[in-house]
Copies of this chain bind each other. A is one copy, B any other.
């Protein structure tokens, strides 16, 4: 007659109230629960998530602390705010990406000239003999939204050190007439905030991030530029235009 943990779904990892809070937050973000609206009662949520009352309360408290919910005894719990909408990265080619990056507020965290290579799986391309490592943080509205490292072929770095350690790297490279980039791609995955990243982005260790690796190849197939960045989940949104035959745009 013990019947210790009679829950139906997974309960391995993170605390229940965090998981529940994440789902509730998503309902607010997605508009499923609109701003000002009364959300389901504790009893309903208990049944839906199959958890105890306290667990719902804890989840609500998390979202209260984030300013998204307000609870009133006897009345109910209401959506008191929505996270500001995300800005979409819409760049579809190198040029527009560089243009977008230009307006970023960048703080360089460190610069190293090392022979260590950016660890990458297998030989999709060749490496330069050595790279400069430029570690930086991007800010928007005084909030950090992205951290990462640019690995820049030392040979290129040396040509204009002073500017490279002050400005966003990508636009500078494209401006250099002696460097010809013939191939560029960006790989996106869901990553994890490491020690440094979590501190710089002001998020928890192990939180999910959007992980981006941007690689630029020159005419001989050498990766002269490799950028490896983490974007905080809060700030990441990307739009991929797959088709646009619209003849005219609305005025």
Contacts and interface: CB of A to CB of B under 8 A. Distances in A.
B188 A25 contact: no
Contacts of A10: 198, 203-205
Interface stretch (A128-136, A140-148, A236-244): A236-244
A243 B190 contact: no
Contact of A182 (B183, B185, B243): B243
A78 to B, nearest CB: 18
Contacts of A41: none
Interface of A: 9-10, 12-15, 18-23, 25-26, 30-32, 48-49, 85-86, 88, 91-94, 97, 119-121, 181-195, 198-199, 203-210, 214, 233, 236-246
Main secondary structure of the interface of A (DSSP, over half): mixed
A28 to B, nearest CB: 11
A91 B13 CA distance: 34
5 contacts: A12-B204, A13-B15, A93-B242, A188-B238, A190-B210
